[in-house]
Chains A and B, each alone.
Chain A
Amino acid sequence: MAHFTKANSVYEWLDQRLALTKLWKVLAAEYWIPKNINFLWAMGVVLMTMFTILVISGIFLLMYYKPDTKLAFDSVNYTIMQEVWFGWLWRHMHAVAASVVFLVIYIHMFTGIYYASYKRGREMIWISGMLLFVTFSAEAFSGYMLPWGQMSYWAAQVITNLFGGIPFIGDDLVIWIRGNFYVSDPTLTRFFMLHVFLLPIIIMMLIGFHFYTLRIPHVNNQDGEEIDFDAEAEKYKAGLKRESKVIPFWPVFLSKDFFVLSVFMIFYFYLVFYHYEFAMDPINFDPANPMKTPPHIYPEWYFLWSYEVLRGFFFNVGPLSAMDMGLIAFGIANIIFFFLPWFDKDPTVAPADRRGGFFFWFWLMVIDMIVLTIWGKLPPTGINAYIGYLAAVGFLALWAALPAITGERRKLFWFVVIVTALLYIFGFMEYTKAMGNGFIITATFLIFYLLFFLSPVMVKERERGAQ
């Protein structure tokens, strides 16, 4: 047993037993972050705060919510919104935070992509972050079902139905997920369990893991510079604060985060009080009615881009129906970001504006995802169907071209461009009904997907230190 001396204060007593001083040093006072950063580096703390708000407001809502198809709607819209003291505030905060958290996730994610913070030792940061994104998506989807409004019901109907597209087990899987042949009371109660228990616990564990993954490779900086953290930390501790390239998490890094967070909170609470309709769709204030399909069914805004990848394929290709084609692309879209470190064949860690072709890839990806998001909500009629197709194929094409762009393989790059252009032309002919689905389209899609899957495997990573 370790030797303990008599403690002179409560803090000392605890410190002897829990090593508080050491813990605080490791976690905050001597946890080193690069100095060369901008406000985008504060998004992690903003996300942590939003998640905390979601948990706390969620606990209050949970005290009055009733997971029963007969009671759910009124427990939310009457009991919580009208009878419970400040229930309306908790609900508005919860709903708006659930929507805004995705905005910050996307900013956080694209910051990582822009500054190449997903490679050369930082792969696990990226993967744990993507796992968080997927679990947050599941958490958002299950939560949206709980008020049991029209959109809760019909979104659940459409999304659970998608699993029916999986070969062989699809139909059984849908029943297994719903707990019934159609979306009904057992569906609500199991998604309630997922939303308030299983998924939040997984998220909390993943957040811990995400923090841990930062320990060894450290946080990236604005120039992608490789920093000797031990040496720079010594400089800082020796009082050479100006010369040192690092800052401690507390109080230096957090003082900046705290400012960014405060400004963000102005924006957030403005939405909570005055502009909540985007997060609380009016249609969901109609009680769920299985007999009455709403004229427009759409997911929440943060799912629109992948929803449009699903919807973008509007014509059959060979033996595959439009729905099959959409499901394949949708399945890829939902996992493809995990593989970013291996689609990128350039070992350089630098911001996109110093990485040649990648700079254009980055902005094309941002634009394409915005187009997908907007067209994901527009009714898919007329020319919108074709624009959706352009953006959906464009999304896949950007990924197919990424190994060629970052690996500097010009011929392969132009090959991807030509195949994509052909798909655009064939798609237009399908749109104008000038061409039936035949051998040529099937063959072109086959080549396209071969490029998509083979490029990241076949293209070799560029030599290190080329720049």
Chain B
Amino acid sequence: MNKELKILAIIIILVGITYWGIEPYAHSKMHPHHEPATFKYEDLKPLPLKGDAKRGAQAIQNNGCTGCHSIKAAGIPAPMDPVSASASYGVNPPDLSNIAALIDKKFLANFIKHPVKAFKLEHKFGANRPFPMPDFFGSDQDLADIVAYLESIAKPQEPRGAFETACGRCHNLRYDKWTVIGPKPKFKNEVEKADFELKKAKYEANLKKYLGTTPPDLSMFIRSRGPEYIRDFVENPQKLLHGTAMPRVGLTEKATEEVIKHLEHVGDRKKEKREKLGPWVLAYFVILSILAYLWKEKIWKELH
């Protein structure tokens, strides 16, 4: 028995060393360490002024925001359908109803003022290739009022809503029947289906022209990238994938968690079942091992 335990110990040590070498150690060499996301957006300056939501409702009209953006919560419709919008701007501009529930307040103000800088996309957009949303020309007080207004109308977002607003205009999520132009409806006939597919294809072509690449479908990202990577990547894409066309979208920590929750629901739908079944199966084999040991002892007793 003693000898068998010694053999087992040697095997465990050798397997342990090998495992450590090919998994944690090798992966630390393949993916160099980076600082985890803080969601503080420290390179941006906070807005010194206090905003007024009522004045903001007016300012958002005066400054031309609604020329491109819808605010459905305030009854302001989108000026264009998604496909035409993508033809004009590259991507469909977001509805602003709940934007402040997802995006960091400081980031939002900075973004409105200098979109490209906040997005960290200076390598993609500049004087030669202007960003579709212009820098803010209004006063700082207007800006503060607009942010206050957006905050006043925003409703807290469920995981799905967070994903659709924050990611869903560039990324498909086919395992959740989500497309860049909205949820995939049930088609009544082939014409409807072909019509929808054509719209989606047009939108995706415009998006590709705008970004220089087709953003990936995120259905399996929870398994292919894992929650930590997604979290750190969303906070600052350039840090993990230098030169990527993906903007820093300025999500709050909570909104990022909501997005990850949704991706987990879509890409690892059986996680809960897996974690619930695991202990039962393990317990079964623990009991079986005990019984098997007793049986073995009984049979081998007469041999020694």
**Could you tell me the distance between the alpha carbons of A278 and B289 in the complex, rounded to whole angstroms?**
26
Scan residues 1-52 of chain B and give those whose CB is less than 8 A from a CB of chain A: 3-4, 7-8, 11, 14-15, 17-19, 21-23, 25-26, 29-30
Give chain B residues whose Cβ lies under 8 Å from the Cβ of A284: 224
Decide if B303 touches A82 in the complex (CB within 8 Å): no
Known contacts A81-B270, A256-B296; decide if A269 and B224 are in contact (CB<8 Å).
no
Decide if A274 touches B278 in the complex (CB within 8 Å): yes
Decide if A373 touches B295 in the complex (CB within 8 Å): no
Partner of A378, one of B26, B174, B269: B26
Stretch with Cβ within 8 A of A (4 or more), from B113-121, B251-259, B279-287: B279-287
**Could you tell me the distance between the alpha carbons of A92 and B278 in the complex, rounded to whole angstroms?**
12
B81 at the binding interface (Cβ < 8 Å): no
Q: A375 — nearest CB in chain B belongs to which residue?
A: B21
Give chain A residues whose Cβ lies under 8 Å from the Cβ of B175: 77-78, 82
Give chain A residues whose Cβ lies under 8 Å from the Cβ of B7: 38-40
Decide if A259 touches B14 in the complex (CB within 8 Å): no
Decide if A259 touches B285 in the complex (CB within 8 Å): no
Among B226, B289, B295: residue with most chain A CB under 10 A: B289
B187 at the binding interface (Cβ < 8 Å): no
Known contacts A274-B278, A374-B25; decide if A242 and B269 are in contact (CB<8 Å).
no
**Could you tell me the distance between the alpha carbons of A259 and B290 in the complex, rounded to whole angstroms?**
8
B190 at the binding interface (Cβ < 8 Å): no
Scan residues 263-282 of chain A and give those whose CB is less than 8 A from a CB of chain B: 263, 265-266, 269-270, 272-274, 277-278, 280, 282
Decide if B4 touches A38 in the complex (CB within 8 Å): yes
Decide if A262 touches B275 in the complex (CB within 8 Å): no
Scan residues 261-304 of chain B and give those whose CB is less than 8 A from a CB of chain A: 267, 269-270, 273-275, 277-278, 281-282, 285-286, 288-289, 292-293, 295-296, 299-300, 302-304
**Count of chain A residues near B, Cβ 8 A:** 54
Decide if A278 touches B23 in the complex (CB within 8 Å): yes
B225 at the binding interface (Cβ < 8 Å): yes
Q: A263 — nearest CB in chain B belongs to which residue?
A: B289
A121 at the binding interface (Cβ < 8 Å): no
Known contacts A242-B302, A282-B224, A283-B224; decide if A301 and B22 are in contact (CB<8 Å).
yes
CB distance from B65 to the nearest CB of A (A): 37
Decide if A273 touches B288 in the complex (CB within 8 Å): no
Decide if A265 touches B288 in the complex (CB within 8 Å): yes
Decide if B19 touches A278 in the complex (CB within 8 Å): yes
Give chain A residues whose Cβ lies under 8 Å from the Cβ of B3: 38
A190 at the binding interface (Cβ < 8 Å): no
Decide if B269 touches A373 in the complex (CB within 8 Å): no
Decide if B299 touches A258 in the complex (CB within 8 Å): no
Partner of A259, one of B267, B289, B303: B289
Give chain A residues whose Cβ lies under 8 Å from the Cβ of B292: 255, 258-259, 261-262
Scan residues 286-325 of chain A and give those whose CB is less than 8 A from a CB of chain B: 286-287, 295-296, 301, 304
**Could you tell me the distance between the alpha carbons of A379 and B274 in the complex, rounded to whole angstroms?**
34
Partner of B303, one of A78, A247, A301: A247
Give chain A residues whose Cβ lies under 8 Å from the Cβ of B23: 277-278
A355 at the binding interface (Cβ < 8 Å): no
Give chain A residues whose Cβ lies under 8 Å from the Cβ of B303: 35, 241-242, 247, 252
Give chain A residues whose Cβ lies under 8 Å from the Cβ of B274: 88-89, 92, 273
A251 at the binding interface (Cβ < 8 Å): yes
A370 at the binding interface (Cβ < 8 Å): yes
Give chain B residues whose Cβ lies under 8 Å from the Cβ of A74: 174
Partner of A370, one of B14, B225, B281, B293: B14
B54 at the binding interface (Cβ < 8 Å): no
Give chain B residues whose Cβ lies under 8 Å from the Cβ of A82: 175, 269-270
Closest 10 CB pairs of A and B: A374-B21, A273-B278, A285-B224, A262-B289, A285-B223, A259-B292, A377-B26, A88-B270, A285-B220, A255-B296
Query: 15 A-B pairs, CB-CB below 8 angstroms?
Result: A78-B219, A81-B269, A255-B292, A255-B295, A259-B293, A266-B282, A270-B282, A278-B23, A282-B225, A285-B223, A285-B224, A376-B22, A377-B26, A378-B30, A379-B30
A88-B270, A263-B289, A296-B30 provided; 19 other pairs, C-beta below 8 A? A38-B4, A78-B219, A88-B274, A107-B11, A242-B304, A255-B292, A256-B300, A259-B292, A266-B286, A269-B278, A278-B22, A282-B223, A282-B226, A287-B220, A295-B30, A301-B22, A366-B14, A370-B17, A373-B18
